[in-house]
């Protein structure tokens, strides 16, 4: 197929339990989507990939020349988007310890795609890759050298989202951008001249701002306390910080911002808890935006993306309250969709270009 017309690429964007996909025709001049959708469960990855293939066939679409996969964490050995071979799969398997909720289902999806679309390239597109060039002052965690030597450092996440925002801005990209990706997971990233220089998430996707069910940054002494005084083990700690905290933990109601807005209208105690959860989330994001403004020496553009960032105007407005003292005004904010599937397809096309 002539690349002037584009080459067909399938992008698979796996979360911890669900899957978004896009089938694109990608070429040097850009990309266009031919099919997109979602699978609500990844419990049976082979069945999910088979259903996507059936939808493609039913619409008379061509077979893909490659499949690109979102991989949340590449660990210390896999820091760039890359073609997947046996060695890369081994490196990604080793990275499972850093993101046990996200990496295993993504790798199961890679195997399912290899089986369904045999003989074509599979590409790992890493959420951590966008942050791989962060300076040491941002990347290094204040831990002993022997632990840092094991790969314990700030990796950062939502990198595909950040890359897609930078790509969308194109020639309009200003020197100093803060990207607030706010959804079930949430992070804030400082971008200087198109490159990530600091970000709120750390070793895992649990750190940084308050999230739907994740606590974000917390006094480490809290964890030592619940281990020492209440007998928590590693599994209980992970469940506490990843599944029982954040908006859900504060409100006791829900980790869904839409449900909290509805509950906040009540004068009951649960309404007060919902209002507190919303206020704490917004304060947490606002603090990180302020921190990134200091890192950048000012802000030229603040971009909101992700489910909350794109669709929740009241939460965006609440977050922006007080940012005027940093010189961040409404005219300097922008709402932009996180086009992760298109970014995956584009990176996959780049890595599978035939030699000249």
Report strand pairing: 66-71 vs 19-27. Answer: unpaired
Query: Locate tokens 């979102």: which residue?
Result: 70
Question: Per the annotation, does 51 bind a ligand?
Answer: no
> Would you please indicate which residues are annotated as catalytic (active-site) residues?
127
- Fill in the DSSP letter of residue 332: G
State the Cα–Cα distance between residues 46 and 226, nearest whole angstrom: 40
Distance, CA of 66 to chain centre: 22
- Packing angle, helices 86-94 and 103-116, rounded to 10: 160
Question: Per the annotation, does 312 bind a ligand?
Answer: no
Question: Per the annotation, does 93 bind a ligand?
Answer: no
Question: Per the annotation, does 311 bind a ligand?
Answer: yes
Residues contacting residue 172 through CB under 8 Å, at least 6 positions apart? none
Residues contacting residue 240 through CB under 8 Å, at least 6 positions apart? 215, 226, 232
Residues contacting residue 156 through CB under 8 Å, at least 6 positions apart? 128, 130, 131, 134, 187, 189, 196, 199, 201, 202
Using DSSP, state whether 298 is helix, strand or coil.
Answer: coil
Using DSSP, state whether 37 is helix, strand or coil.
Answer: strand
As a residue count, the chain comes to 356
Question: Per the annotation, does 181 bind a ligand?
Answer: yes
Q: List beta partners, residue 82.
A: 124
Question: Per the annotation, does 210 bind a ligand?
Answer: no
Question: Per the annotation, does 1 bind a ligand?
Answer: no
Question: Per the annotation, does 70 bind a ligand?
Answer: yes
Question: Per the annotation, does 150 bind a ligand?
Answer: no
State the Cα–Cα distance between residues 7 and 348, nearest whole angstrom: 11
Handedness of CA 328, 332, 338, 343 (dihedral sign): negative
Report strand pairing: 19-27 vs 30-39. Answer: antiparallel
Using DSSP, state whether 69 is helix, strand or coil.
Answer: strand
Question: Per the annotation, does 340 bind a ligand?
Answer: yes
What is the DSSP annotation of 110-121?
HHHHHHHTTTSE
Give binding residues for substrate as ranges. Answer: 70
Q: Which residues contribute to the annotated binding site?
A: 13, 20, 70, 181-185, 256-258, 307-311, 340
Task: Summarize the annotated binding site for Mg(2+) as residue ranges.
Answer: 13, 340
């Amino acid at each position: 197929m002539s690349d002037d017309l584009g080459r067909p690429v399938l992008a698979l964007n796996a979360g911890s339990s669900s899957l978004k996909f896009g089938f694109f025709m990608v070429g040097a001049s850009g990309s266009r989507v031919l099919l997109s959708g979602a699978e609500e469960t990844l419990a049976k990855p082979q069945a999910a990939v088979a259903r996507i293939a059936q939808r493609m066939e039913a619409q008379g679409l061509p077979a893909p020349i490659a499949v690109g996969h979102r991989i949340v964490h590449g660990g210390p050995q896999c820091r760039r988007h890359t073609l997947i071979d046996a060695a890369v799969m081994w490196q990604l398997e080793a990275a499972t310890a850093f993101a046990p909720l996200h990496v295993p289902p993504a790798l199961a999806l890679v195997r399912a795609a290899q089986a369904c679309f045999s003989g074509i390239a599979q590409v790992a597109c890493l959420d951590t890759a966008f942050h791989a060039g962060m300076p040491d002052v941002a990347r290094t965690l204040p831990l002993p050298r022997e632990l840092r030597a094991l790969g314990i450092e700030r990796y950062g996440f939502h990198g595909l989202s950040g890359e897609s925002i930078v790509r969308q801005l194109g020639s309009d990209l200003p020197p100093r951008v803060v990207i607030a990706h706010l959804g079930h997971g949430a992070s804030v990233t400082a971008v200087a001249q198109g490159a990530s220089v600091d970000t709120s998430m750390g070793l895992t996707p649990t750190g940084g701002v308050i999230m739907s069910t994740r606590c974000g940054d917390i006094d480490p002494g809290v964890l030592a306390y619940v281990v020492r005084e209440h007998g928590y083990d590693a599994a209980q700690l992970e469940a506490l910080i990843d599944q029982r905290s954040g908006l859900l933990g504060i409100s006791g109601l829900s980790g869904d911002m839409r449900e909290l807005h509805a509950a906040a209208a009540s004068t009951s105690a649960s309404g007060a808890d919902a209002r507190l959860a919303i206020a704490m989330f917004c304060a947490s994001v606002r603090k990180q935006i302020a921190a990134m403004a200091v890192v950048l020496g000012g802000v030229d553009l603040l971009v909101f993306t992700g489910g909350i960032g794109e669709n929740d105007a009241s939460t965006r407005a609440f977050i922006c309250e007080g940012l005027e003292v940093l010189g961040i005004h409404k005219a300097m904010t922008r709402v932009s969709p996180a086009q992760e599937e298109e970014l995956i397809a584009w990176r996959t096309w780049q890595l599978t270009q035939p030699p000249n």
